[in-house]
Amino acid sequence: MKLDLPFVIAHRGASGSAPENTLAAVRRARVLGCRWVEVDVQLTADNVPVVIHDHTLARTTDGQGTVASATANELAARDAGSWFGPAFDGEAIPTLAQLLQVCREISLGVNIEIKPAPGAVEKTSMAVAAVIDATRQPVLVSSFSAMALRVFHAAAPKVPLGAVYRSLPRDDDLRALAVPVDTVHVAAARLTRTDVARLAGPMHRVLAFTVNEREQGQRLRDWGVTAIFSDHPERFSGLGT
């Protein structure tokens, strides 16, 4: 499957102007002219993939406890918007299926980052694979977990993969993945022009997170970075959406 990425990908949706990882955030990204969004996915107690970043609920919802200990119905009753502002009161935690449907309707590609809870790598990856229909919309699946990428690839070998790193990967790190990856995701602050040249090539494209200043985005593009993740995609008008 061909992976046609814009330079700017809305990080957790347009999370600078709407509550992250919500339908409001992906819709806002589209209004701002984005063609792709990035979201985080975890698994509920009843094995439903839902869109939320933290393993715990307290930061971005009115709930307590962990995502993994709650059912999909219990999470659907949580408010995931009022923390951001009163205009988003009642915004829900979407399931991955719900978010993909909305993104299909408004023509958004989706980078799904698998963020499995401890001990849930295999079942999270399998559940994500079961929801995705890559023939219906552009999708990239990424993770910090090499095991998550391997399990997902076995279940959905045609879906492009991205490997996410907290520190700069060595060539040996990429070979150790044991699955083909299309993109390598690295913290923008750690990258140099030399790093981009080493990591990029015919097999990999370099994606940088999280970039919210236009000057930094311009520099990364000049170095050969394929795409940046930004909370504020509107700041990069003219650099490519």
User: What's the rounded Cα separation, in Å, for the pair 205 and 116?
Assistant: 24
Closest C-alpha to 30, from 80, 95, 104, 93 = 104
Q: Mark whether 153 is an active-site residue.
A: no
User: What's the rounded Cα separation, in Å, for the pair 141 and 39?
Assistant: 10
Pairing between β-strand 36-43 and β-strand 49-51 as defined by DSSP bridges: antiparallel
Report yes or no: 127 and 47 within 8 Å, Cβ to Cβ. yes
Q: Mark whether 53 is an active-site residue.
A: yes
Report yes or no: 236 and 11 within 8 Å, Cβ to Cβ. no
The alpha carbon of residue 200 and the mean position of all alpha carbons in its chain are separated, in whole angstroms, by 20
Q: What are phi and psi of 186, to 5 degrees?
A: -135, 145
Enter the tokens of residue 48: 């439903």
Alpha helices in 86-213 (DSSP H): 96-105, 121-131, 146-155, 171-176, 193-199
Name the residue type at position 123. K
Q: Check 11, 153, 185, 204 and give the catalytic one.
A: 11
Catalytic residues: 11, 53
